Amino acid sequence: MQDTWRANDKLTVTYGMRWEIYFPQTVNGKGKGSNLDFNTGELLVAGYNGIGTNMNVSTSFKTIAPRLGIAYQVHPGTVIRLGYGRSYDIGTFGSIFGEGPTENLPVVASQALTSESAIASVFSLDGGPPAYVFPTVPANGRIPLPDGVSARTRPFHMVIPTVDAWNASLQQQLGHGTSLEVAYVGNKGTHNMFDGGGSYSNNQPTIVGFTPGSNTNLRRPFYSKFGWTQDFTYFNPQNSGSYHALQTKLERRFSNGLQMLANYTWSKSLVYQADYFDIDPRVNYGPAAFNRAHTFNLSGVYDLPFGRQKLLLSNASGWLNQIVGGFTLNGDVTASTGFPFTYSYNECGNDRDTGPCRPDKIASAGLGSRSFNAVDHCGLFQSRGSAYGERREQRRIPASATGAVRQCRQRFGLWAGRGECGPCAEQAVYHPRTLQPAVARGGVQRTESSELWESKRVRGLQPQLESGQDHGCRATDAPVAVLCPHSVLGIFTLSAS
C-alpha cells in the first residue's frame, strides 16, 4: 500500500508499506534433494518420513518493507528532500534459491581418486573411473554424512537479505536553468552476500592452537563431534555491509547552445569477507572491493556558435554555412581514485594454515617517488606470525600486485588504496619476509607504528608463536612497479547535423 499526503503548497509526504513473503526452495520429487542438519550430522532427504520437498525449511513472515519520503520547499528555488526505505532480495549463487539442495547426496557426489604411487595410474582410459556407489536412503530419510564428503547447505529457517536505505538532499536553484544539489546517501545491508561470494565454510579450522606441523583437522569445529575434515558451502547470508556517501550534482539545462552536468561522490563502503567469518568476522572486515573513495564526472553538449542564426558567421552563404555550421561538441570526463586491494606474501604458509594471508605495515611507504621497489621499501611490512595482519585504510597507496604471485588483488584488507589495478600494475612490488619480531602487548601480537590511520584498527587473533627472526628482503623478489594512484578518462566527439 502507498499514499501521498500534500499538507500544503510546500510540504509533501509519501509513505507506504509492502509485505513480501518468500517461500523456501522445493525440489521436484522424492529423493531429489537434501539439506544438512549440523545438529545431528545427517542429510535430510526430501520426500522421506515427513521431510517435505522443501527439506522442512521454515518461512520468515517478518519481511515488512516500509517507505517514507518527504519533500519541503523552503522558498522558491530551495527544496529539501528526505527518504527512507527497506527492501529485500532473493539472493544469488544459491544463498536463498538455486544450487544448494540438488547438489548433495543422494543426487550428486564428487569423487576424488588417488593413485597408489607417483608413477601409478589412477584408472585406465578403457575402463574409466570406478562408479561411485551412492548410499541407500534409509526409511527415515536421514543419511549420516561421511567424512570427506562435502555438502551445500542452508539454515533450516529462511534468512532473507535486507537493505535499509536513507538519504537527505538540498537542491538550490542558482539561476536560470542551473541548479546545485548536495546529498547524503547511506544504506545498511543485513544478511547479505559476502564481498566476493554468497557462502562460507562453517567447518574452517581456527588459528588458535596452531604450531608448525600440527594437525589442522583437530581445530575444525565439527571434527570432535562428527569427525568431519571437509569444508562446507554454507549458504547462510550473514554479511552486514554499509555505505555512506556525500553526493553533489551541478546541472545546467540546455540554454544558449550549452548543456552541462557535473557530479562528485565521496563514499565509503565497509563489508565482511567469507574467509574465517564463522570464527572471527573482524578478521576480514574492511572497504568493499567495488568502492572508489572519490569519483568525479563532467559531461556536456555545446552547439558551436558558427553558421546562420548563430553568434559568429550568422550571415554565412549557403556553401559556407554547410562547411562551418551545424557542429556540436560532446565531452565526457571521469576522474576517480582506485579500488582497494590487499598485500600478501609467499611465506604465509609457514606462519599459519588457515585464514587470510597478509603482513602488517610498519613504516611509511614514501609514495611521492612514483615508484616502489624492494631495495628501498623492504622494511615496510613484517609477518604477523600466527596472527593476522591488521586492516587499515591509507590515504594514498600504489596500485600493484601482491607478493611474488604477481596479480592485482582488488580486495579490501590491509590497505584501502587509491591505485588502479590496470596495465601499469602487473608486476609484484614486494616479497615480504619476516622482517622483525612483533611486539607482544596484552597477549595480542601487534606492531609498533606512529602513523595515523583513517579507519578503525582491528587486531589479529591470539598468537601461538612469536615471529621469526629477520630474514631480510631480496631485490630479485620484487620488480619495480609503476604507481597508478588514480585514473582519468576523457571522451570528446564532434558531430555535425
Q: Could you tell me the pLDDT band of residue 38, with boundaries at 50, 70 and 90?
A: very high
Q: Which of 128-137, 142-151, 388-397, 437-446 comes out lowest in average pLDDT?
A: 437-446
pLDDT at 28 over 90: yes
Distance in angstroms (rounded) separating the CA atoms of residues 406 and 428: 5
Q: pLDDT at position 299, please?
A: 92
Residues 153 and 332: their CA atoms lie apart, in Å, by 47
Segment 101-128, tens digit of pLDDT: 999 999 998 777 778 787 888 888 888 8
Q: In what order do the strands lie in the sheet with 34-37?
A: 34-37, 42-45, 142-144
Enumerate the domain spans of the chain.
Answer: 2-109+135-274, 298-337, 339-488
Query: Which residues contact residue 238 at a Cβ distance below 8 angstroms, ignoring those fewer than 6 apart?
Result: 159, 191, 194, 200, 272, 277, 281
Q: What is the DSSP annotation of 29-85?
A: STTS-EEEETTTTEEEETTSTT--TTTTPBPP---EEEEEEEEEEEETTEEEEEEEE
Give the pLDDT confidence score for residue 447 in this predicted structure: 27
Q: Which three cell numbers stand for residue 198?
A: 554468497
What is residue 327's predicted lDDT score, i.e. its pLDDT?
A: 86
- Of 458 and 243, the structure prediction assigns the larger pLDDT to 243
- pLDDT band at residue 131, thresholds of 50, 70 and 90? confident
The pLDDT, as a whole number, for residue 83 is 97
What pLDDT does 362 receive? Answer: 66
More confident residue, 42 or 462: 42
User: For residue 24, is pLDDT > 50?
Assistant: yes
pLDDT tens sequence across 418-467: 222 332 222 222 222 222 222 222 222 222 222 222 222 222 222 222 23
Q: Give the pLDDT mean for 482-490.
A: 52
pLDDT for the residue numbered 211: 85
Range of weakest confidence among 127-141, 205-219, 473-487:
473-487
Give the percent of the chain with pLDDT over 70: 72
Query: pLDDT tens, 186-225?
Result: 999 999 888 767 889 999 999 988 888 889 999 999 999 9
User: Tens digit of pLDDT for each residue in 51-61?
Assistant: 999 999 999 99
Question: What cell numbers appear for 83 in the block?
Answer: 527518504
User: Residue 492 above 90 pLDDT?
Assistant: no
| Res. 150: pLDDT tops 50 | yes
Q: Does 191 or 351 have the greater pLDDT score? A: 191
Please report the pLDDT score of residue 118 as a whole number: 79
Report the percent of the chain where pLDDT is more than 90.
42
Q: Read off the DSSP letter of residue 131.
A: P
Mean pLDDT of 358-381: 55
DSSP 8-class letter at 99: S
DSSP 8-state class, residue 284:
G
Average pLDDT of the residues in 318-327:
83
CA distance 264 to 266: 7
SS3 369: helix
pTM of the model: 0.72
Cα 491 to Cα 468: distance, rounded to the nearest angstrom: 52
For the segment 30-53, the average pLDDT, to the nearest whole number, is: 96
Lowest mean pLDDT among 100-109, 218-227, 362-371, 392-401: 392-401
